[in-house]
Structure 1
Amino acid sequence: MQISNETPQDRDAIFAVTQAAFKNHPHSQQTEGYIVDALRQAGALALSLVARQDGRVVGHIAFSPVVIDDGASRWYGLGPVSVSPEVQRQGIGAALIPEGLARLKTMGAAGCVVLGEPGYYTRFGFAATPALTYPGPPPEYFMAQAFTGAASGQVAYHQAFYASANSSPS
């Protein structure tokens, strides 16, 4: 498996992998591929990595800026992270996440947040952080990892996270 930055030629494959990865997910509204497209179109896809096997895109991870109401800057949201269903549970997501976090640190990021399964994301250094909140889901599902400093307050993801099939350019 090889991990690299997305290229313009990867866009359709990223969309297909993302939609397939979330097709049967119980907490998905099937908008994740549209979210990635909307982030890209808005110039808010700060880091977008693909995993390839035999030259084919089989995984993708996106990072985009988030806003924290204390004014903290250089914080990013991880997600979505997607792996083709036929190769899930083979370590592709587990390779994309630390690679993405390492690249974020190199870019000067102050920290990263994620909304997801605590049993999965805690192994990558994420933890529920009472100082950072996200309205809606149970607080243990919203986790953070500070790289260079603390932040506190409510976190807002980019407007692209409200994208759907009717609002996205795909």
Structure 2
Amino acid sequence: MPEIDIAPLASGPLTPVEAAEVEALYAAAFPNEDLFPLIRRLHEEVSDLVSLKAMAEGTLAGHVIFTPSTIEARPAGPRSGPVPETETAGRATPAALLGPLCVAPEHQRQGIGAALIRAGHDKLNSLEVAHVFVLGDPAYYGRHGFVPGSNVEPPCPLPEHWREAWQWFTLDPKLPAPHGILTVPEPWRDPALWTE
């Protein structure tokens, strides 16, 4: 495995160089998805974003974002879209949404994704965030301690066959399992991000 250096991307909008590198990284790893508009919006609109890059031999080898979120009391009744922030009630519990996570194809299976997740968890611990959620491959995230997140609903309804992909991880095992709904910043409130 090459020597990996993990560092934060500066808060605020991406520089033109950062934008070009991040866009190329995601295009190579996910050629059938266009995640860059979401990444750009998160950097422009979320001031306390945790955005980490992995550098290998001077090139961008991986990237991850942890978006600050809150767990709110679950509003009553069925829902067909994102829950407006005005409808959430009760005490908010700090949380984070992991994603997207990307590793360059030539650097996959070298532990870079795991290193990015660990670095993100360390940063979240320092911010007193105890719960992390992700919508992703259960086999992959299960290896990193994530378990199905059925007690906290995602921000938007999921297709039924994606329910296993909604997972959580606690950074403080002494805390009780959270219950409620994950409330996220505006860039994540597009229902298209939560469906096929």
What TM-score do the two structures reach when normalised by structure 1?
0.82
| Letter in structure 2 aligned against 1:76 | A
Give the Cα separation in 1 of the matches to 2:46 and 2:183: 17
Superposition pairs of residues 10-159 of structure 1, within 5 angstroms: 10-24=18-32, 30-44=33-47, 46-70=49-73, 71-134=91-154, 135-137=157-159, 138-148=162-172, 149=175, 150-159=177-186
Report the TM-score when normalising by structure 2.
0.72
Check the 8 A contact 1:10/1:57 in 2, yes or no: no
The alpha-carbon distance between structure 1 residues 114 and 87, as it changes in their structure 2 partners (threshold 3 A), is same
- Residues of 2 paired with 1:125 and 1:131: CA distance? 16
Structure 2: stretches of 5+ with no match in the other structure: 74-90
Structure with larger Rg: 2
Residue 11 and residue 87 in structure 1: after superposition, are their counterparts in 2 closer, same or farther (change >3 A)?
same
Secondary structure at 1:82 match in 2: strand
The answer on whether the counterparts of 2:147 and 2:168 sit within 8 Å (CA) in structure 1 is yes
**Matched-pair contact (CA < 8 Å) for 2:121–2:171:** no
Identical aligned residues as a percent = 31
2:95–2:132 Cα contact (<8 Å) kept: yes
1: CA distance, partners of 2:56 / 2:69: 31
Question: What SS is found at the alignment partner of 2:43?
Answer: helix
Deviations along 1:29-58, one digit per CA (max 9) or x if unpaired, are x23111111001002561011001111111
